[in-house]
Chain A
Amino acid sequence: MKIGYYPGCSLHGMAIDFGKSTEATCEALGIELEEIPGWSCCGASAAHSTNHLLGLALPARNLSLAEEAGFRSVAAPCAMCSNSMKKTHELILSDKETAAEVARITRREYRGGVTVLNAIQIFLEYGLDELAKRVVLPLKGLRVACYYGCLLTRPPDLLKFDDAEQPVLMDEVCKAVGTEPVEWGFKTECCGAGFSMSRTDLVCELTRRILENAVNNGAEAVVVACPMCHSNLDMRQANINKMFGTEFNIPIVYVTELVGLAIGVKPKKLGMRKHFVDAMRLTKRLSAEPQEEVARAS
């Protein structure tokens, strides 16, 4: 399986662990990722918040580049990137006026031939049964809270991924690799996203509620598929503890890291040492078991 790869700005910087784990896990699964030549930033919240045309044109450029390079599907693990590319794709296809306006700005044409995949969809495309067969070191019995945040599912009419209020697809991926997703109430609550630097107080308040709910429902780790969710829950955990006198110490892992661990990729290759809250302790939970038993258990 060969697909286009749009790492976006953060997977080469702040979320290098997300980038490394995506690349290493895909490689282990035999999914060939090929970077879109000449890709640029999707503009993120800053673009759509201050200039709606720029917010469409920046992702549109990347879609055109992917189409020109002959990719039918593109993996964009960052939830912000996949969100803006999916939205732009839908709007260009459904509204001719917008499409013309965007084409005027980008000076490129986009015919709509690219399917954008978020981090979870990479595994869904691969097939969950296939994935379960590849598990060699299941994190057996590890209770995880699957945190979807905003960008994976909303707005539902444009993103067309899972249920916007009660999503389950990340839970399915986590089950396939041997962990036990918990039921909890904050799957799709907002973490404050891009306000991490400009309104740290807001981010800490929102993430405190999320962590509290995850811990109260018995989660031993929170699984995410978005660089902003990760940095707000992982890096900001120290700020939250200081601000609210709490004692959170819960590892936040990318779904790509969790899958990678379970199929036997080395934690170092997944970038798991780069977290703020120690995630290496999870590797102690890895149990080498014959594959058949895992298959029977699931």
Chain B
Amino acid sequence: MRFSIDSEQLESGAVKRVEEMIQQSPSVCYQCGKCSAGCPVHYLMDIPPNVVIRLLQMGQTDRVLESRTIWVCASCNTCSTRCPKEFKIAECMDALRELALATGKDTPSEKDIKLFHREFLKSTRRFGKVHEASLAAFYKLKSRHFFADVGAGIKMFFKGKIRPIPHRVKGVREIRQMFEAAGYGQKVEQ
């Protein structure tokens, strides 16, 4: 992998934005590799966590924002817990996902993961709470995985683990207003 420094990205671009969001600079990392060594989903990543941080140090933000790594990260926080420099790697991944969506640079793969997040929050926004049954149904329709887990779904229904009718929180408007105020789903120019 070739590395070159992009100072514009470091000073005003995505790296700056990540630093503001997590209130920490990736420059503290000295590449010990503990984060990648302990990562349970490392085997699915195209760029290992420590290399993500290295790329941020160089201002190579596009390669990071376009990576699969940021989406398959399960936010288990093993990396942040073990980092000798106390760099919040998992939070950095959160910031990168948010930025990738806002700039539209996110990878076209890992559609299902993004779709699930989106449908989850749609349910929250609609009812104030997540309604699992309709969330699963919408997710299935849109991901076109119609037949996965049908057996499990039927079993869950008979075990009384599915609440068919959603319950709406009183004053759900307040929650919708919070989505607006947090700028959920807004795009940024870059």
**A residues touching B (Cβ–Cβ < 8 Å)?**
9-10, 12-17, 38-41, 43-55, 57-58, 61, 95, 104-107, 150, 154-157, 164-165, 188-190, 192-195, 197-200, 202, 206, 235, 238, 273-274, 276
Contacts and interface: CB of A to CB of B under 8 A. Distances in A.
Interface size class, chain B: 35 or more
Contacts of A274: 159-161
Contacts of B113: 195, 198-199
A200 B163 CA distance: 23
A177 B146 CA distance: 44
20 contacts: A9-B132, A12-B163, A16-B160, A40-B124, A41-B128, A50-B98, A54-B179, A54-B182, A154-B76, A154-B78, A155-B88, A193-B75, A195-B74, A195-B113, A197-B148, A197-B149, A198-B143, A202-B72, A235-B152, A273-B159
Given A50-B97, A150-B76, A202-B72, 5 more contacts: A51-B184, A107-B174, A197-B139, A206-B41, A235-B152
Interface stretch (B8-16, B29-37, B48-56, B114-122): B114-122
B64 interface: no
Contacts of A43: 121, 124
Interface string B127-153: 011111100100100010000110010
B98 A155 contact: no
B166 to A, nearest CB: 10
Contacts of B75: 45, 48-49, 150, 193
A107 to B, nearest CB: 8
A158 B28 CA distance: 20
B58 interface: no
Contacts of B159: 273-274
Contacts, number: 168
B100 to A, nearest CB: 10
B117 A41 contact: no
B76 A48 contact: no
Given A48-B75, A198-B115, A40 B90 contact: no
Contacts of A202: 41, 44, 72, 74
Contact of A198 (B78, B97, B112, B162): B112
A106 B117 contact: no
B114 to A, nearest CB: 8
* Interface of A (DSSP majority class): helix
Interface string B156-170: 100111110001011
A203 B95 CA distance: 23
B188 to A, nearest CB: 12
B129 A40 contact: yes
B169 A40 contact: yes
Contacts of B81: 154-156, 164-165
B182 A154 contact: no
Nearest to B177: A107
B5 interface: no
Contact of A206 (B40, B80, B120, B139): B40
Contact of B78 (A10, A104, A150): A150
Nearest to A205: B43
A34 B88 CA distance: 35
Contact of A190 (B78, B98, B171): B78
A44 B123 CA distance: 12
A155 B86 CA distance: 11
Interface in B1-22: 21
A58 B190 CA distance: 28
A54 to B, nearest CB: 4
B47 interface: no
A46 B179 CA distance: 13
Contact of B163 (A13, A107, A190, A198): A13
B108 interface: no
B187 interface: no
B72 to A, nearest CB: 7
Contacts of A44: 120, 130
Contacts of B175: 40, 58, 61
A276 B169 contact: no
Nearest to A199: B113
Contacts of B41: 190, 192, 202, 206
A39 B124 CA distance: 12
Contact of A199 (B91, B112, B155): B112
A202 to B, nearest CB: 6
A9 B179 contact: no
A278 to B, nearest CB: 12
